[in-house]
């Protein structure tokens, strides 16, 4: 899997590259509009992370070029502006997703994986870990080919943790992903625990190959048993 990060802020770029490299992706980067358009012209990418606020041009122009050329690259727009206009325009132009800055690394990983899944399995959106299979098209969970009932939030928590398998996911990142940005101030997110508890119970009774581990009260980690 080859990913291009277009980002002019060097440390931001470094963080994103490091996180994605840890997932064993091939990561390339471009720090300017010019560099990015050269790379896009020459190489194919599975996913492009596109900062639209570049010093020498608007990232949306790059998106237009990609779509005009009929390239198959998945594109996630990254924007510090968090403006609805950018989002709508980006999605209209054919971007796969829109990620407002600042974002959590876990969120980045989940979004990239979602785009890659959609690109590479063409509708066959399935996340398979051992005997656990999450179907992201129908939002269903199968353990040993047996369907397990999950409510909306349990499903969201499971998919998010599974997308960040073997990584410590901070409670804040998990809460913001599942309950939205507006969930701030919520008494240190302890209410997440009850969702995790239910989920653990379901995984256990169906003898799943995975488990959800609490790490120092900081967050959770999904890993193989």
Between CA 215 and CA 134 the distance in angstroms is 24
Q: Which is nearer to other proteins, 74 or 219 (CB)?
A: 219
Category of 139 on φ-ψ map: left (φ > 0), alpha (ψ -120 to 50) or beta = left
- Interacting stretch for other proteins, rule CB under 8 A, among 17-25, 31-39, 55-63, 142-150? 17-25
Give yes or no for residue 211 binding other proteins (CB under 8 A): no
Give yes or no for residue 196 binding other proteins (CB under 8 A): no
> Shortest distance, CB of residue 88 to other proteins, whole angstroms?
9
Give yes or no for residue 187 binding other proteins (CB under 8 A): yes
> Shortest distance, CB of residue 170 to other proteins, whole angstroms?
7
Residues 36-95 that bind other proteins (CB under 8 A): 80-84
Residue 195, CA distances (Å) to 110, 129, 137, 158, 191 in order: 19, 20, 22, 10, 8
**161 close to 220: Cβ distance less than 8 angstroms:** yes
Binding site for other proteins (CB under 8 A): 9, 11-12, 15-16, 18-19, 22, 80-84, 101-106, 153, 167-168, 170, 172-173, 179-188, 190-192, 194-195, 215-219
């Amino acid at each position: 899997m080859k990913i291009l990060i277009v980002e002019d802020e060097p440390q931001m770029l470094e963080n994103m590259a490091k996180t994605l490299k840890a997932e064993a992706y091939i990561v390339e980067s471009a720090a300017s509009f010019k560099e990015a358009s050269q790379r896009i012209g020459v190489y194919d990418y599975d996913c492009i992370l596109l900062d639209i606020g570049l010093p020498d041009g608007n990232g949306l122009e790059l998106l237009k070029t990609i779509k005009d050329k009929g390239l198959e690259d998945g594109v996630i727009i990254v924007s510090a502006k968090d403006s609805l206009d950018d989002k709508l325009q980006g999605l209209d132009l054919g971007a796969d997703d829109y990620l407002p800055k600042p974002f959590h690394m876990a969120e980045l990983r989940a979004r990239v994986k979602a785009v890659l899944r959609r690109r590479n399995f063409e509708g066959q959106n399935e996340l398979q870990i051992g005997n656990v299979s999450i179907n992201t098209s129908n939002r269903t969970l199968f353990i040993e080919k047996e369907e397990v009932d999950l409510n909306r939030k349990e499903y969201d928590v499971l998919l998010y943790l599974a997308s960040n398998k073997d990584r410590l996911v901070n409670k804040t990142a998990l809460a913001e992903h599942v309950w939205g940005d507006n969930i701030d101030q919520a008494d240190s997110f302890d209410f997440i625990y009850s969702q995790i508890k239910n989920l653990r119970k379901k995984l256990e009774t169906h003898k799943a190959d995975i488990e959800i581990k609490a790490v120092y009260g900081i967050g959770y980690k999904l890993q193989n048993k």
